[in-house]
Amino acid sequence: MGGLQDPSASLRKGSAMAQRRQQDQQRLIPLARMVHMIHMLCAQGRTMAELEEEFHLTSRQIKRYLKTIGECGYDFIEYDGIGKRVYKIEGGHRGLKPIPITDSELMAFHLAQSHMEYLTGTPFTDDLASLNRKFRNQLTERTANKIEQMAQVFFPVQRPQRAYAKQKDILAALQKALLLQREVTITHRAQSYRDPVIHVVEPYGLELFNYGLYLIGYSHRAKDFRRFAVERIQKATVDMTADPFTIRPEYAARAKSRKAFGLIEGDVMDVKVQFSREVADYFKERQWHPTQKVKQLKNGDVIVSFQAGGMDEIVSWVLSWGAHAKILEPQKLIDLLYEQIIGATKQYKSKQIP
């Protein structure tokens, strides 16, 4: 009948559910066993035989668990108890970590920290140092001793270097404005201006470019989005009396569609540059622009094409490759590069060239 259910179908459904529950339990058993083992080894030491008896596992299986626990950042004290090796977690229950820190995580942290050296003396490195102290307090002595060694592994080369320590108060104000979404009034002197100009800015972010910091925001004076070099900001005041500003919808679209080659935006062009085979690998291995495409030529040269704006920065980049680079298009980019080469040659005289 239409209202009756097939008993065998119900049995199959019940069996499938029971099987899934059993599989879930089987997946949870190793995790629960490891948690139990961690707490046991925090309380007191255990020999291999005692662990085998407690968990009904072989010595090989116990060693796998101990290895996994060690990889999670827990340190063992191994000592002889009446001629037998005893395993115990260093620090006892005080050694329990809410979020265990592994050696590879420490290395990643110090890699990030080493790239922030140019911001020494600013709120960012002060906060990073505070974070460093907090997690170091949770580390065992053995793990803490590795930190200095890891700090010497990375050698970031930062050129040109900029000193932001004198901008500490300004960066603190910008940080506050960004976190609280408040307008900030800045006094800024652009490179092409002799005198500073006051801007009321809706801050949207801090941009890192070639180890330089730039404030991105909407300037009410310019009635458009602008980029301000932080080292040229002479004063910054956050308006805490006003309500948080509303994010402009055009900002997301602008950020998504941005195709500048560097910092300077301009009309987007289809650019093609040919590079000699001597430097071809640099372009096959690295991405210089999100729209970059690389075409391999039979002679080993490559043609790099992309769509971007910012003529001056593109020309500067091409010139940095010397005789290994040749702009194929557009013509206006070729003309600008030619003008710069002619201008540069006027600055020099060679005794070898008549």
Q: What is the CATH number of the domain that holds 60?
A: 1.10.10.10
pTM above 0.75, yes or no: no
Lowest mean pLDDT among 42-46, 62-66, 109-113, 350-354: 350-354
- Residues 107, 91, single domain; the answer is no
Residues 30, 82 within the same domain = yes
- pLDDT band for 25, please (50, 70, 90 cuts): very low
DSSP code string of 219-251: ETTTTEEEEEEGGGEEEEEE--SSPPPPPPHHH
Q: Is residue 350 part of a domain?
A: no
Residue 34 has pLDDT above 80, yes or no: yes
Q: Is residue 315 part of a domain?
A: yes
Q: Say which range, 6-15, 158-167, 232-241, has the weakest mean pLDDT.
A: 6-15
Is the pLDDT at 264 greater than 90? The verdict is no
Range of the domain at 66: 24-95
d(CA 184, CA 202): 7
Question: What is the pLDDT at residue 9?
Answer: 55
In whole angstroms, give the CA distance from residue 7 to residue 5: 6
3-state secondary structure at position 206 = strand
**Band (137; pLDDT cuts 50, 70, 90):** low
Q: Is 235:174 a contact under the CB 8 Å cutoff?
A: no
Is 14 inside any structural domain?
A: no
Residue 179 counted as domain residue: yes
Total domains in the chain come to 4
Out of 256, 287, 321, a domain closes at 256
Cβ–Cβ < 8 Å for 37, 43 = no
Last residue of a domain, one of 213, 235, 256: 256
Instruction: State the average pLDDT for the chain.
Output: 81
DSSP string across 61-106? HHHHHHHHHHHTTPPEEEEEETTEEEEEETTGGGG--SS---HHHH
- Residue 1 reports pLDDT greater than 50: no
**Does residue 321 share a domain with residue 248?**
no
Mean pLDDT of 68-75: 78
Q: Is residue 332, in this structure, part of any structural domain at all? A: yes
128 and 91, same domain (yes or no): no
Q: Does residue 136 belong to any structural domain of this protein? A: yes
**Cα–Cα–Cα angle for 100, 106, 112, rounded to 5 degrees:** 130
Give yes or no for residue 146 having a pLDDT over 80: no
The domain boundary, picked from 95, 118, 137, lies at: 95
- Please indicate, yes or no, if residue 170 is contained in any of the structural domains: yes
Whether residue 11 lies inside any domain: the answer is no
